[in-house]
Structure 1
Amino acid sequence: MTFETTLNNYFPGSISLEDYIHQTHEKLTPLGFTNENTFACVSVCRDEITKPLLDQTDLVWGEVFNFSSLAGSLTLGKTGFAAASSHAPIIDGLERYIFIAMPHIAISEKGEIGIVYREGRSGASHACGALEAIIDEIGNGKLHLQLDMDDIEQSILKTKIFEKLQYGEKPNLVRITKIAHEIIVEDLERLIQVSEKEPYDYAVLTGIMIHGPEESNYVYPQSFYAVTMENREEKKSLVL
C-alpha cells in the first residue's frame, strides 16, 4: 500500500493544499470576493501541522481570524463568531467573508492512516490525536461524556461525535474524521444563521485536510458555496 493508493481509496478527488486555496479563490473572484474586500475565517485543529492551511489562506486572502479548536471543531460560540464577523472592510455598505473549516488526518508514505512523522522525533506521531483519543475510549469501553472543565474542547467534541454514532459502533479514523467534518459543517451553518448581523456576502469552504509524506498537504474538498446579494435566498454551489 502507498500514500497515493490510500488517498485515492478513502479521499478521491483530493488536491494539493496550494491548488485548493488558489482554485477556490479563482472561483470566488467573479462573485465579488477579493483579498481587498473579503475577511477570511479559518477553523482547523490546534495541531501545529495544520498551520500550512492558515499560511496559504493568509497568503491569498490576507490575515485570517483563527477559529481553531481540537479537530477543527467550532467551539468559539456566538460571541467568538460575532467578533470574527465584525472585522471585514465595509465597501459600498457591504461586508464579505469566507469561512474555511475542516478536520485533519495523516497518511504515511506507506499508506498508514493516522501516521505522520514530525521533525525531531524518531517515532511515528498521529493526526488527529484528539479523534484517536476518542476511538481509544470507545474501544476500551470507557467513554466519558461528562463535561470535564479541565478538558472542555475534548468533552464537547466527544459528546457531538457520540451523538452521530450508531449504537455499538466502533469507528475507525477515516469514519470518525468524516463525522467530525459533518459536525463542523452543521455548527458553522448554524452560527451563520444565528449571528445577529445585517446580511453579508459569504462563502463556505469545507473538507478534510490531509498530511502526506515529507510535509506535503492535501485537501479533500466537500462543501463549497457562496451566498451573495444576487442569490440571497439560495446557496450558489461551486465546483472545483
Structure 2
Amino acid sequence: MKIATFNVNGVNGRLPVLLRWLAAAQPDVVCLQELKAPQEKFPEQAILEAGYGAIWHGEKSWNGVALLARGQKPEETRRGLPGDGDDTHSRYIEAAIDGILVGCLYLPNGNPAPGPKFDYKLRWFERLIAHAAGLVAADHPVVLAGDFNVMPTERDVYKPERWTEDALFRPEVRAAFHWLIDQGWTDSLRRLHPDETIYTFWDYFRNAYARNAGLRIDHLLLSPAIADRLIGAGVDRDVRGWEKASDHAPTWIALED
C-alpha cells in the first residue's frame, strides 16, 4: 500500500501536474495540502476520472486539505482539528481507508516569528499533539501525513545557520515535533534513511531546486500499531522540476499489506 503527501500549492492551477503524477506514481492514498480553493471549486470530476475518490475541506484563497483514495471514496471520520471551535482554517481532515486511519494536515507556517502567527502555530501544534495522543492510545493503525512546516533537525535543512529565527526551525517548533514523536510515532523517511540528505521543498527563488537548497517539511508519521509494516519511503523529487510545478515534491511511503 502506497501512501503519499503532496502540498500542491493550488489544486486547480497545478491540476495537470497532479494528474500526471497520479498516473505515473499510482499511489493508493494521497494527502493534499494548500488547495487554495473554496469547497465548491475542488476539481472532483477530474480526480474521479483519474481513478480516485476524494473528500476535501476547502477554503477560499488559502489553506485547504484533501484525501484521495484509488478506486474508492475515503470514509471521513473528522473534519477540522479539535480544541478550538473558533478556528475556521481548513487544515485537517481524517478518514478511514482500507483499515487505516489517515490524518491529512497542513500545519501553520508561523512567520513572522515572534508574533501572532507564530503563537497560532504553537497553539495549533499543541492541539495536534493532544489529538495524536488519543490516536496512539486507541491502538489503531494511523498515518499522520502532510506539510508540518517544521524541519526537525539540522540534517533537514540546507544551511541551517540561516534559519535559526525562522518559524519553521525555531527551537519551540522543533521541540513540539519531538514531543509528538515521543508519543510513539515513527518518522517514516528517517526510519529508512537515517543519514541521507532528503528534502521535500525547494523555494522558487535563488535557483533553490537546481542547487538542491531545500527543506524537509513534509512528513508521514506512523503510529505504533502500523510502524512495523513500513517497507519503503521516498520523495518524487523530479516532480518539482516539471513545468508549473509546486514548490513541494510528493513524499511517500510503502506499507506491507
Q: TM-score, normalised by structure 1?
A: 0.32
Higher helix share: 1
Larger Cα-atom Rg: 1
Higher RCO (CA < 8 A, seq sep 6+): 1
Q: TM-score, normalised by structure 2?
A: 0.30
Higher strand share: 2
